[in-house]
Structure 1
Amino acid sequence: MKAALTGRAWRTPLGSGIDEVVDRLLAGERAAQPNARFDARSYACTLAATIAAPPAPSRHARFLRRMGLYAVEVAAEAMRDAGVAGGDRVGLFFGYGGLRAHWDDLMPAFEHQRADGHGAWERGLALLHPFWILQHLSNNAHAIAAQELGARGEGATYGGANAGAQALAGAIRALAAGAVDVALVVGYDSLVEPETLVELAARGSAVSNALAAPYDMAAQGFVPGEAAAALVLQGSGTARAFIQALDGADGEKGEPQPALFGRLVGAIARPGDAVDGCGLALPSFDAAERRVVADITGVDAPLCCIMSAMGQIGAATSVVQAIALAELLQRQCMPPLAGLREAAPGPLRPILRAEATTHRSAIGLSASAPGLAGIVRVELP
């Protein structure tokens, strides 16, 4: 089933306004810079693509960390953009990167502890926020957004690096089954925190020294990023675009194998679709991705990469791709692959500078460990 996209909002490393971000994508800008969240000079990856503007002041800051506050903000904005209100038939579908123990909370609380636990409170546990465990719940932002917006219909919270694709697919299935009339889909994640940077370095996924674009001959890893995005889907109504989505996993410890992409792309992609690639900037993965996709879209399909501009944004990826691709297709213009200097050989045609397009559909791909993948297809009415 295709669902109608009727409202959208986001917070990204390229800005918070829809037009602002799309203009910067078309200009070929790249958000990578020294990590602005904390001093990362001792980490293997010192670069990051971060959201510049802080969340608006909120009474929910007692329970939500920074990314959760962004998620509630964009959820409300997307509802306003769609012109819909809450109710019993409004479902809420959240995609979140997953439950993580945040080191900036834990390290001060545990660095002076003793093995026998003596004086644990005085030695640091007293430093933990009284709502610390509540702040770590993966469905916190979902629950608060549902209460704030009066979204009382069916819904779910999904976890993992492809949780945005899961949330989109779940929302579309709920609309198709008649379980809800309106589905609000939110994806949010940050890969720029200490605990994620250490993991990315251990996997060899994040760039360490020279910065190069995905699908470039010099590619050697991606830039960690962060984003929160929301869109409203309906079964009918005036649509900005129509959305399809699928998610999948193959059990790999690292990035998924090409066969998983072949299954997902084969299920919903069509010949002639433009392509927004995963952008992992891992040469062997990039090459395999291009071959599998080209078997469906055709070898000359244009290839862009929103994640080259924004950095890898985890669970927010598919939601951001759906919004961005809808806007780009409406403008009849595709963005350059930000930072690309020397394109690696292979099928699909990397876009070197912003170009006019007559494409009316595009697919966006995402992938991460452990063996997770997602695809979203966007088609103009």
Structure 2
Amino acid sequence: MLKAAIIGSAWRTPLGSNVGEVVDRLLAGERAAAVNARFDASAYTCQLAAAMTQSVAPSRNARFLRRMGLHAVAVAAEALDSAGIKGSDRVGLFFGYGGLRAHWDDLMPAFERQEAGGANAWNCGLDLLHPFWMLQHLSNNAHAIAAQELGARGEGATYGGANAGAQALGAAIRALAAGAVDVALVVGYDSLIEPETLVELAARGACVAGAASPATPYDINAAGFVPGEAAAALVLQRPGEGECIACVQAQDAADGEKGEALAGTLARLVRAVAQPGDVVDGAGLARPEYDAQERLAAAQVTGDDAALCCIMSAMGQIGAASSVVQTIALAELLRRRMLPPIAGLQRAAGGPLRPLMQAEATTARSAIGLCAGAPGLAGIIRVELA
């Protein structure tokens, strides 16, 4: 299976922005779940969130990009800088984004005073919409602005959906293998903690209810995940063309489900990518039946005794950013020869794989990271030390 070498990275996560410091916090078992700090969510089913606290620098791009898009452009620039790469016609740019969503904090003021039949619609609130409102919703805004600012003029694409990070990684790896680009910059960003996402997550019972500290994925009392957000970027090149941090493979899949992808879809990805002895970073949906099926699917390839960790337990579910964040975190963890505990895990459910209750040393040189989301989307990455 095709792979690429990782030569640079950057991220913004609910646990911080410095890769080393965030991994320290993962190893310490820290968890970012707290009462939603983005807005008053007391009237929502899910009142918890793993929110980023980093501010964005003032930018002219704020006319076209919201907060997460600005973070995405920033991490793209930082990742290229960390790799010592300058933009050119041979630098490709591949973006993974959660998808087109109408932002309620824009829409609600514009529609709350509207009259039946739409009479006088402009003066009843539509005049409150920003002139660039539709442009601010374009899925490829951040991609276009990053390409212009960084000079990344090579081949590339924007992918949407809960597994868009895996899609973008897979496309970048194929572009490198085909010789279409010499360097690939891959960016994934998403937020699941806004009103428009929280309502949808609650409607299908995906997120935890209430404001009390919830049980974690793979706990016997798990009852839904904590939504989170992140922006992350990787710089890739062909293996063997210089020093690298690690190598990565990626694959995505879809099965048409209205909710999260079936566990069988994850199993298909595991069979295609994983190898015996791989550490497993789970999808962490925190639904006992799904968690159990996921563990069984992974163990059939990695072995029953493979270590099970869960970055999403610490950071919350981060949608399209998942595979890019997992790649960065697992590469650093393998390099340190340490694995993190499942943050907050109290009573691990029985089954194959070893859910980690505390940080432990490892001799493993490879790990897989799984992600799953609606509608019926799944992804996998495999990171291996070079």
Compute the TM-score of the two structures, normalised by the length of structure 2: 0.98
The range that moved more, 127-136 or 68-77, is 127-136
Aligned AA for 1:222? F
After superposition, the C-alpha distances for 1:361-381 in whole angstroms (9 at most, x for unaligned) are: 000000011111000000001
Give the whole-Å Cα distance in 2 for the aligned partners of 1:302 and 1:290: 11
After superposition, the C-alpha distances for 1:220-264 in whole angstroms (9 at most, x for unaligned) are: 000000000000010132110000000000111112222211211
Identity over the aligned pairs, expressed in percent? 74
Aligned AA for 1:34? V
After superposition, the C-alpha distances for 1:270-328 in whole angstroms (9 at most, x for unaligned) are: 00000100000011100000001000000000000000000000000000000000000
Picking from 227, 230, 233, the partner of 1:227 is 230
After superposition, the C-alpha distances for 1:31-67 in whole angstroms (9 at most, x for unaligned) are: 0000000000000000000000111111111110000
Aligned to 2:217: 214
The DSSP-based 3-state class of the residue aligned with 1:232 is strand
Picking from 343, 347, 351, the partner of 2:352 is 347
Give the whole-Å Cα distance in 2 for the aligned partners of 1:10 and 1:339: 23
Aligned to 1:364: 369
Aligned to 2:98: 97
Give the whole-Å Cα distance in 1 for the aligned partners of 2:108 and 2:72: 26
The DSSP-based 3-state class of the residue aligned with 2:226 is coil
- Does structure 1 residue 259 correspond to structure 2 residue 261? no
Aligned to 1:41: 42
Cα distance, 1:122 vs structure 2: 1.1
Give the whole-Å Cα distance in 2 for the aligned partners of 1:124 and 1:259: 47
Aligned to 1:303: 308
Aligned to 1:76: 77
The DSSP-based 3-state class of the residue aligned with 2:69 is helix
Aligned AA for 1:304? C
Give the whole-Å Cα distance in 2 for the aligned partners of 1:364 and 1:112: 46
Task: Note the 1:58-137 alignment, pairs <5 A.
Answer: 58-137=59-138
Aligned AA for 1:228? A
Picking from 281, 293, 299, the partner of 1:294 is 299
Give the whole-Å Cα distance in 2 for the aligned partners of 1:117 and 1:371: 37
Cα distance, 1:117 vs structure 2: 2.1
Give the whole-Å Cα distance in 2 for the aligned partners of 1:272 and 1:336: 18
Aligned to 1:28: 29
Q: Root-mean-square deviation (CA), in Å?
A: 0.7
Give the whole-Å Cα distance in 2 for the aligned partners of 1:257 and 1:39: 33
Aligned to 1:204: 205
Task: Note the 1:3-22 alignment, pairs <5 A.
Answer: 3-22=4-23
The range that moved more, 201-210 or 273-282, is 201-210
Cα distance, 1:182 vs structure 2: 0.5
Give the whole-Å Cα distance in 1 for the aligned partners of 2:328 and 2:172: 15
Give the whole-Å Cα distance in 2 for the aligned partners of 1:199 and 1:229: 24
Give the whole-Å Cα distance in 1 for the aligned partners of 2:264 and 2:359: 31
- Does structure 1 residue 271 correspond to structure 2 residue 276? yes
Cα distance, 1:134 vs structure 2: 0.8
Give the whole-Å Cα distance in 1 for the aligned partners of 2:117 and 2:296: 56
Give the whole-Å Cα distance in 2 for the aligned partners of 1:107 and 1:299: 50
Which consecutive residues of structure 1, in runs of 5 or more, have no partner in the other structure?
none
Equivalent residues, number: 381
Aligned to 1:142: 143
Aligned to 2:173: 172
Give the whole-Å Cα distance in 2 for the aligned partners of 1:308 and 1:152: 37
Give the whole-Å Cα distance in 1 for the aligned partners of 2:353 and 2:311: 16
Aligned to 2:184: 183
Aligned to 1:376: 381
The DSSP-based 3-state class of the residue aligned with 1:116 is helix
Give the whole-Å Cα distance in 1 for the aligned partners of 2:264 and 2:225: 22
Aligned AA for 1:230? A
The range that moved more, 55-64 or 159-168, is 55-64
Give the whole-Å Cα distance in 1 for the aligned partners of 2:30 and 2:21: 12
Give the whole-Å Cα distance in 2 for the aligned partners of 1:217 and 1:283: 7
Aligned AA for 2:312? M
Runs of 4+ in 1 over 6 A off after TM superposition: none
Aligned AA for 2:196? E
The DSSP-based 3-state class of the residue aligned with 2:266 is helix
Give the whole-Å Cα distance in 2 for the aligned partners of 1:263 and 1:346: 19
Aligned AA for 1:86? G
The DSSP-based 3-state class of the residue aligned with 1:19 is helix
Aligned AA for 1:195? E
Aligned AA for 2:274? A
